[in-house]
Amino acid sequence: MNFKNRFYKQTAHSSFFSIDNFVVEYHDEIKKEKEANKPIDLKPTNWNKYKETFYNQRIDKYKSKGFTKELIIGFELNKVKNLPNENEKYFALLPNESEKNAALKKYYTQLLNEKLKSEQSKIEQSTPEKTKKTIEFEDFFYDVTPEQLKQIKEKFKDLEPKETAIFIDLLYNDFKVLSIIHGSRKGKSQKDFIKHITDNSNQSINMLFSKDTIENYIYKGNEADKTTIKTQLETILK
């Protein structure tokens, strides 16, 4: 293995995007069969084949900790977000790995968001109407401390429509701590969340999201508009 490959094998990305693959082999030196792990490195070309295995193995790592599936997926989204970016300096030595890294991060993020929506839908459908409590502001968040929630609530009350759209976009897409379900009729929709932070109409805010991606709550204005609120959220959620 040359230096570049050794270097890449040591990166977080390489160790993250691989799956365990246990095989039984016969060893002459001990004269018997022995199980060994022959990890399979994921690539864009084999992603569809191994994505469910990869996802299940990642989720299984949390089994003994008693976390809910929804919370575990939130942890995984944060881990993917914090993986090395393709523009970081070590990728300059390995230009072919840059596109592979970006693609796998994108594919896994998409898969996690699909699993999260499915899990949220299951929770909603299985919650008995008689015992379901009123949805509060804090119920829209995961992986956020009570103190952070308090700061967010105090800092971002009575927002204007544009600020509300940016606030939702950043929490949902950038920081990945907001749990809302598109079209929910049981208190977890975007409209329900907006009621906790503003008196503005949901329709005026909807117009500020890209039409073709409204389920992903992507603000359609200029990226520069986000700077102030993003900086404030980074200070709270650091």
What integer pLDDT is reported at residue 128 of this predicted model?
A: 63
Domain definitions of the chain by residue range: 3-126, 137-237
Q: Mark the ranges of the chain whose per-residue pLDDT is less than 70.
A: 1-14, 85-96, 127-132, 200-201, 203, 211-215
Burial 174-208 (b: 16+ CB within 10 A, else e): ebbbbbbbeebeebbbbbbbbeebbebebeebbeb
What integer pLDDT is reported at residue 40 of this predicted model?
A: 92
pTM, entire model: 0.52
What integer pLDDT is reported at residue 155 of this predicted model?
A: 87
Residue 35's DSSP bridge partners are: 24
What integer pLDDT is reported at residue 66 of this predicted model?
A: 83
What integer pLDDT is reported at residue 192 of this predicted model?
A: 87
What integer pLDDT is reported at residue 6 of this predicted model?
A: 45
- Helix spans in 127-226 (H): 146-155, 161-169, 190-197, 202-206
User: What is the distance between the alpha carbons of residues 210 and 39, in angstroms, rounded to a whole number?
Assistant: 41
Measured in residues, the chain has a length of 238
Residue 34's DSSP bridge partners are: 25
